[in-house]
Amino acid sequence: MNRHLWLCAFLLTTPRLYAQTSSGDDRIEHISACWRQIDSDSSLQKVKMSSKEFYGEETSAGAASMVGSFKRDSLCKIDVSVGMSYGILREHYYFAGNQLLYVSETEDDFKDQAEKKDAVRSYEAQFYFDKDALIQKMAKGRRLMGQDDTHHYLELYHNGRYYAELLLKKYHSNTPSRPPAPAVRTT
C-alpha cells in the first residue's frame, strides 16, 4: 500500500519520463489508481478546520468544514464541504509529491429551498491534473451558480493550493517539533 503512494509521487515528480512513456488514458488510469489508494488508506492522520479558520469571519457560506489527510508529513487529500442557501457543495482534492492530481466536485441542491431539505445531486465533476495543467474534465449535470464558467478548474486548482497551505500550517503547528539535527563539523 505504501509502495503505491511512493510510486505515484515518484512518477509525478519525474514528468518527462512519465510523459514520454504513457498515453493520456494511461495517465488518467494512473491518477485514478492514486486517488483510490489514498481513499483506501485508513492510516492517514486527519486535521480538521472550521469555516472560520479557512474562510474567515466574512463568509456568506453556511456550515462549512475542511479535513486534511496526511501520510507522515505529506498532505494526501483535502475534503471540503460547504452549506449554501441553495444546497451543499463538496470538493475532494488529491495530492501526490506535493502536486495536485485530481479534484472531485459535487453539488446537491435542495428541492425545498425554504426548508433546506431533500437535497438532490445536480452536478458532479472530475478534474485530472498533470504537471499543474488540466488534462481531463468529466462533468455531469449543471451547477446552480457559475455553470457557464469554462475556467472553473483554475479556481479549484488555486483553492486546492490555498487550502493545502492552511492545512500544512495547522498540521505542523499541532505536530511536536523534532529535535534539531546535530551540528556537523566541516574541519
Eight-state DSSP code of residue 135: E
Q: Is residue 183 part of a domain?
A: no
Q: Is residue 93 part of a domain?
A: yes
Q: What is the b/e burial string over 109-129, where b = at least 16 CB atoms within 10 angstroms of the residue's CB?
A: bbeeeeebeebeebbbbbbbb
Q: Is residue 32 over pLDDT 70?
A: yes
> Could you list the residue range(s) of the whole structural domain that residue 111 is in?
2-174
Q: Is residue 102 part of a domain?
A: yes
Q: At what angle do helices 2-13 and 24-40 cross, to 10 degrees?
A: 140
* Terminal CA-CA length for the chain: 44
Q: Is residue 31 part of a domain?
A: yes
* Count: domains in the chain: 1
For CA atoms 43, 5, 9, 38, the dihedral sign is negative
Q: What pLDDT is recorded for position 35?
A: 95
Q: Is residue 182 part of a domain?
A: no
Q: What pLDDT is recorded for position 19?
A: 37
Q: Would you place residue 181 in the very low, low, confident or very high pLDDT band (cuts 50, 70, 90)? A: very low
Q: Is residue 97 part of a domain?
A: yes
Q: Is residue 136 over pLDDT 90?
A: yes
Q: Would you place residue 148 in the very low, low, confident or very high pLDDT band (cuts 50, 70, 90)? A: low
Q: Would you place residue 105 in the very low, low, confident or very high pLDDT band (cuts 50, 70, 90)? A: very high
Q: What is the pTM of this model?
A: 0.78
Q: Is residue 150 over pLDDT 70?
A: yes
From CA 62, how far away is CA 161, in angstroms rounded?
Answer: 23
In the chain, pLDDT over 90 holds for what percent of residues? 51
From CA 100, how far away is CA 162, in angstroms rounded?
Answer: 12
Q: Is residue 10 over pLDDT 50?
A: no
Q: Is residue 179 part of a domain?
A: no
Q: What is the b/e burial string over 4-38, where b = at least 16 CB atoms within 10 angstroms of the residue's CB?
A: ebeebbebbeeeeebeeeeeeeebbebbeebbebb
Q: Is residue 57 part of a domain?
A: yes
Q: What pLDDT is recorded for position 13?
A: 43
